[in-house]
Amino acid sequence: MDIIAITRQGKVRGRVRDAVAAFLGIPYAAAPFGIHRFRAPAPAEPWEGVRDALEYGPTAPQRPYRPPLDELIPEVDIPGEECLNLNVWTPEAVGGALPVLVWIHGGSLRNGSTAMPLYDGRAFARDGVVLVSVNYRLGVEGFGVFPDAPDNRGLLDQIAALTWVRDNIAAFGGDPGCVTVCGESAGAISIAALMAAPRAAGLFHRAILQSGAPHKVPRSQGARTVRAMAKALHVPATAEAFAAVDRERLLDAQTEVVGKADPISGGPGFHIVADDGMMPADPPQPTVDLLLGCNREEYRLWSVPSGMVDRISRLTLRLALLKFRIPGRVARLYRAARPGAKPGVILGEMATDLLLRGPLNRLADSRPARTFLYEFAWRSPVWELGACHALEIGFVFDNLRHGETLSGPGAPQPLADTMHRAWVAFAATGDPGWPGWDARRPVMVFDHPGTGVVLAPRQEELQVWLSRSDQAGPEGGADGAT
C-alpha cells in the first residue's frame, strides 16, 4: 500500500509493508553538481504533484573498498546527481509524536551510503522510533580543503539534513524536539564535530557515538591530500580546477593517493578540519545526553583479513612504540594480560585503546551531561575477525541477516534484541538501561552469553592513554573504515 506525506518541498509517496512506511531517496538539498559542486549545500528545489519515494536515491561518488574489505563491506553504487538525499522509516499508524533517530554512516569520510541493506530502519520504526538515514558528500568533494571553497562540506550537508528533519519530520510522525543523532566510525566522528558546531546547535538533543571519537586537524594538515591529488592530476590545488576535472578521473586520483590508508597503519586521508566559523579549534562543552563506546577488538577488521597481524614482528612493534613515544613498559603490560599473543595482536590492542577507548573515556570524563558507555565484545567466527570494527551495526539495527558478511550466519538474536532495545530506549528517554558514567566507570559489555555492567574494565591498560598529554596516532587513523 502506498502512503503520502507532505514536506515543505512537496508531496512524497512512500510504501507500507508490515505496518512500516518507508520513504526513500528524498532530496534534502540541491544536487551538488554543476554550479553547486564544491559549494555549501543549497536548498532543494520544490516540485509539483507527488514525488515517488519508493527507491533509494543516488549515492555519493566513491570507489569500493579495496580487497578483501570489499567482500566484508559490500558497497552499493546508485548513479545520479541528487546524492544529497535521505530515507525515512516510520510506523504506519502513529499515535503521537515519536522519537527520531538520525543515522550518519561511516566510511573514512570517503565510502558508504544509506542504500546499504544493513542500514534498513524497519526494526526501529517497528519499535516506535522514526529512523532517518542520511547521504552526504564524501572524499575530496565533501572534505577536500581548498582556498576557494568552504571547509567541511560533507559536515555542512549533514547539518542541512538535520535542518530538514527539524522542518519536516512531524509530517512523518516524528517529534522535532526529540532527535537523536547516531553514527559509526566516521559517522561518529562527524557527530562529535556536530556537537561542537554552532550551526548545528538545537538540531538534535541526544547523540550516539559508535567506534568513533572526536577528531579534527588544522587546515594545513587537511590540505595535504588535496595537494597530493593536484600533483597526480597536474592541476592547481583549487576547487575551481578540481571542478573542471572529470569525476572518474578525480576518483582515480583519490584512490591513488588515499586508497591504501587505514586506521592502524595510517596514511593520507580526509578529515574534519578546524576553522574559525564552522568548526572552532576549542569547541564549547557539549551538553546533549551521550551514549558512546567501541568494540573490544576494533583493529581486527583491518589487520586480520589483510594478514597484517601476522606480518608485524617484534622489531616492527618496537619501532611503532618509538614512533608514537610509547614506553616499552606499556607493551609489557599488554603482553602480561595476553600470554603468547603475537606482536601484531599487541600492537592492535594498543591501537584500539589509543585511537578509540582512551579518547572515548576521556570524553566521558569531561562531560557535564548524562553519559553512558558500552563495549561490544561478541566475537565473530568469520575470518577470525573477533569483536572487530563495524560488527555491532547489525545488532544495533536488529538486522543480522544483512550483517552476515561480518558476523556469519547464526549470530545470536538475543544479543541483537538486547542491544537494539537499548538504542531504542536511549532515543526515547535518554536512558539506555544501565548506570550513567561516574567515578565507578560503569561500562555495559554486550556479549553472548553474559551481557552486563562491568566497572572500570582493563583500567590499568586504559590509564596509560588517559594519562598521556598527547594523543598521537597515524595520520588519518581516526577516520575509521566503515
DSSP 116: S
Helix 314-323, helix 328-337: angle, nearest 10: 130
Cβ proximity of 165 and 97 under 8 Å: no
C-alpha to C-alpha distance for 63 and 70, rounded to whole angstroms: 10
Compute how many other C-beta atoms are within 10 angstroms of the C-beta atom of residue 456. Answer: 14
Helix (H, G, I), strand (E, B) or coil at 266: strand
Could you tell me whether strands 85-91 and 20-27 are parallel, antiparallel, or unpaired per DSSP bridges?
antiparallel
Q: Which residues pair with 50 in a beta bridge?
A: 11
CA angle 256, 260, 264 (to 5 degrees): 150
Q: Report the amino acid identity of residue 125.
A: A
- Within 8 A by CB and 6+ apart from 100, the residues are 129, 130, 131, 132, 165, 169, 174, 175, 176, 178, 179, 180, 427
Please pick, among 82, 298, 349, 461, the residue that the annotation labels catalytic.
Answer: 298
Distances (CA, A) of 302 to 65, 165, 199, 388: 11, 35, 35, 9
Helix (H) or strand (E) holding 98: strand 98-104
Q: Which residue has the cell 589509543?
A: 354
Is 298 assigned a catalytic role?
yes
Helix (H) or strand (E) holding 133: strand 130-134
Please pick, among 108, 133, 185, 380, the residue that the annotation labels catalytic.
Answer: 185
Please pick, among 205, 389, 420, 461, the residue that the annotation labels catalytic.
Answer: 389
Distances (CA, A) of 369 to 26, 158, 213, 291, 442: 34, 23, 17, 11, 16
**With the C-alpha atoms ordered 239, 41, 104, 155, is the resulting torsion angle positive or negative?**
positive
Cβ proximity of 140 and 270 under 8 Å: yes
C-alpha to C-alpha distance for 152 and 214, rounded to whole angstroms: 15
Is 448 assigned a catalytic role?
no
CA angle 34, 36, 37 (to 5 degrees): 75
- Nearest CA-CA partner of 406 in 430, 433, 383, 431: 383
> Which residues are known to be catalytic?
185, 298, 389
